[in-house]
A and B are shown apart, each in its own frame.
Chain A
C-alpha cells in the first residue's frame, strides 16, 4: 500500500503561511455605541485582509433584526417578548444618554453631519467585505426572534461550539 508522505513540519509551515488571521467578535449588546465599536473593528479587520466572524447573541441580535418585523414565535409569551423588544439596526439606543430616544437622535444627527457611517451603513460595509454573521439559535429562541425576522446576509444559525471552534483559530477574540 502506498500513501503520500507529508512532512508534518512542512505541512504546519505551509498552513501557517497561508492561514489568514482571524477575528471573532461576540456581540451581546444591543446598544448603538457598542454595536458601532463591534462593526468598526470588524470592517477595519476585514479591510486588513483578516477573516472576521461576528456572533450575535441576546440583545446583539437586535442589530440584525429587520425593523418592525413581527415575531412568528409559536407561544404568546415569546411572541410578546419579540414585539416588546424592538429590533433593527436603525433603532438601537445609546448605552448612556439615551434620554428616551432624544440623546440617541442627537448623536445620530451629529454622526450624519460629520459623515460618520451609522450602524446600518457599517453593517452593510461589513457584509460587503465578507464579514460572516452568525446568529445564536439559543438566544433567538429565548427572545422570540425567528429566522424570518432577521436581515438577509446572516450566514449561519449556530451555537456555542461553532463559536468556540472559530475562536480557537482566531488571534483576536472580542466580547462586546
Chain B
C-alpha cells in the first residue's frame, strides 16, 4: 500500500503511537494517507478504534517480520 506520509513509532508503547498519529495527521491534507509503523501489537486494535472515534478512515493494515519482532503498518486516510 502506498502512503503519502510515513510516521515511525518503532519502540514506542501505548499510548505514544496514537498520540503521535493524532499530531501527525494534522500536517496532512484531506485525502492523503498516513502510514504508521509500530512494533506494538496493540496498534492492530487501537488504530481502527482511533479511526472510528475521530472519523478518519482506516484503509489498511500490514504485518511483517522485523529483525527483533513483528512490525505493523497501519494506513490511515485523512477525511477532514
Instruction: Give the interface size bracket for B toward A.
Output: 10 to 19
- A115 neighbours in B (Cβ, 8 Å): 11-13
Is chain B's binding surface mostly helix, strand, loop or mixed?
A: helix
Q: Are B15 and A44 in contact (CB under 8 A)?
A: yes
Cross-chain pair count, CB within 8 angstroms: 36
Q: Are A48 and B50 in contact (CB under 8 A)?
A: yes
Distance of A43 Cα from B53 Cα, bound (Å): 14
Instruction: Give the interface size bracket for A toward B.
Output: 10 to 19
Q: Are A47 and B50 in contact (CB under 8 A)?
A: yes
Q: Which of B21-80 contact A (CB under 8 A)?
A: 21-22, 50, 53-54
> How far does the Cβ of A67 sit from chain B's closest Cβ, in whole Å?
24
Beyond contacts A40-B15, A47-B18, A47-B21: 4 other A-B pairs, Cβ-Cβ < 8 A, are: A43-B19, A44-B14, A44-B15, A129-B22
Decide yes or no whether B5 CB sits under 8 A from chain A: no
